[in-house]
Structure 1
Amino acid sequence: MRGSVRGPRRSLAQRIDSLCRLEGEFVLRSGTVASEYFDKYLFESDPHTLRAVAERMVPLLPPDTDVLGGLELGGVPIATILSSLTSLPVAFVRKEAKTYGTCRLAEGRDVTGARVTLVEDVITTGGAVRAAAVALRAQSAVVSTVLCAIDRSPAGHHPLADAGVEIRSVLVRADLDRARARA
C-alpha cells in the first residue's frame, strides 16, 4: 500500500528522518563510504516513534491474522508493540533456527497452521522477509502479508511478488525523501 504522505504521516516521516539520518563518514555493507547513513534502530529505540509506527500498522493488519511474526532484529520491537495494541500473539522469527535447546526458528507462539502476518522495520530487497516466509511455510504456517514501517524498494518494484507476499507499509522511500527535502 503505497501512497503520499499527508498530515500525521508527513509528521511521522519527518520525525523518523530527523531521528535516523546521520551525517559523517560511514562504511556501508558494500564497502562503499557514504557521507550519510540511515540508522533505522534510532526510531525503534524511541518509544514514542515506535508506538506511532505500530499504531499506523493496526489498520493495515489483515483481519484473518492469527499470529504476528516479528523478524529478527528490527521487526521484534514493532511486533511486540503491535501485539500489545491488537491482543494478537506474537512469534519472534530468527534468521535461522537455533542449534541448541528448542532448536526453533520462531520463538513464542507456535506458528504451525497459523495465518502469520510478518512484521519488519525496513524492506529494501525483501531478502529477510522472503527467507522467513519460506521457512515458516515449511512449518505449515500461512504467510501472505508483511507489514513494514518503511518500504525502501524502488517505486513500482515489488521485491516480494515472486514469494507471494504482499507488502503493506506505513511509509515508503519517497515519504522520507520528501520529509528530508522539507527539512
Structure 2
Amino acid sequence: MTLTSPGTLAARVAATACVAGPFALADGRVLDSYFDEYRLGADPDLLRDVAEAMSALVPPGIEVVAGIELGGIPLAVALSAVTGLPSCFLRRRPKGYGSRRQIEGADVTGRRVVLIDDVVRSGTQTVSMTGLLRGAGATADHALCVLERPLGGRKALEGHGIVLGSLLHETDLPDVQGGTS
C-alpha cells in the first residue's frame, strides 16, 4: 500500500479524479469541476488504497457490500477483495432482459449490507437503493462513500435510519472546495 497518511490519500484522489470543466448534475445544476469516479476506478493502485482505507469504515457485522450503479461498482469490488466480504451490485432500474434483476451478485436476504457509492450529495440515490435492499429482505442501515459533499445528504440519510461513513469530505481535497460533484 502506498498510502502514508489521510492527507496523502486525499491529494492522490484529488490529483487523479478531480477534473476542472463544466459538469451537469441530474438536477440541472452545472458545476465548474467534478469528481470523476471512473478515473479513480481506472487507477489500480489508487483504487486499492481507497478500498483499504474504506475497509476501516465498514461497520462490524456487515455481511455484504453493495455497490450502487455505476460509480459504486468498482469500489464495492475492490472493498470486497480487501475485506473478503461478498458483494452485490444495485441497478437503478431492473435489467430489461435476461434475469430482469435489480440486485445482482450475492444474496442479500436476511443479511446486513453496507451500501457503497463514490459521492454522496443529496442522498437521494442512497435512500432509494436502501429501500431496494430493505425490500429484498436485507438489513441496510449503513452507507459508505469516497467523497461527501455538504449538500444535505447526511441529514437525508439520517432521516431514513442510514448512518453515512465518508472517507473524504469536500474540504479534504486540495484546490477543489466548493465545486466538486
TM-score category (smaller protein): 0.7 to 0.9
Determine whether 1:94 maps to 2:76: no
Q: Is the 8 A contact 2:141 2:163 kept in 1?
A: yes
Q: 1:37 to 1:150 in 2, by over 3 A?
A: closer
Q: Which moved more, 1:94-103 or 1:119-128?
A: 94-103
- The answer to whether the Cα contact below 8 Å between 2:16 and 2:40 also exists between their aligned partners in 1 is yes
Q: CA deviation at 1:159?
A: 2.9
Q: Which runs of 5+ in 2 are unaligned?
A: 177-181
Aligned in 2, Cα 1:155/1:113: closer, same or farther, shift over 3 Å? closer
Cα distance between partner residues in 2 of 1:59 and 1:38: 22
Identity %: 38
Mapped contact 2:119–2:148 kept (Cα < 8 A): yes
SS of corresponding position for 1:158: helix
Q: Which residue in 2 is equivalent to 1:124?
A: 121
With over 3 angstroms needed to count, the CA separation of the structure-2 counterparts of 1:21 and 1:164, relative to structure 1, is same
CA contact (8 A) 1:56 1:170 kept: yes
**Is the aligned partner of 1:73 residue 2:70?**
yes
CA 1:101–1:35 in structure 2 vs 1: closer, same or farther (change >3 Å)? closer
Answer whether contact 2:146 2:168 (CA < 8 A) is retained: yes
Match status 1:180 vs 2:169: no
The structure that has the greater radius of gyration is 1
- Relative to structure 2, which stretch is displaced further, 96-105 or 63-72? 96-105
Q: Secondary structure at the match of 1:146?
A: strand
Q: Report the counterpart of residue 14 of structure 2 in structure 1.
A: 17
Summarize deviations over 1:109-136 as a string: whole Å, max 9, x none: 1111111111111111111111000111
The Cα shift of 1:55 comes to 0.3
Whole-angstrom CA distance in 2 between matches of 1:144 and 1:32? 29
**Residue aligned with 2:48, SS:** helix
In 1, Cα distance between equivalents of 2:90 and 2:55: 20
The answer to whether the aligner puts 1:161 opposite 2:161 as a matched pair is: no
The equivalent of 2:36 in structure 1 is 39
Letter of the aligned partner of 2:120 in structure 1?
I
Q: Which residue of 2 aligns with 1:148?
A: 145
2:24 pairs with one of 19, 23, 28: 28
**How much has 1:161 moved relative to structure 2?**
1.1
CA contact (8 A) 1:21 1:37 kept: yes
Q: How many residues align?
A: 172
Structure-2 change in CA distance of 1:115 and 1:174 (3 Å): same
2:179 aligned partner: none
CA RMSD, aligned part only?
2.1
Shift of 1:158: 2.4
Letter in 2 for 1:18: A
| Letter matched to residue 149 of structure 1 | V
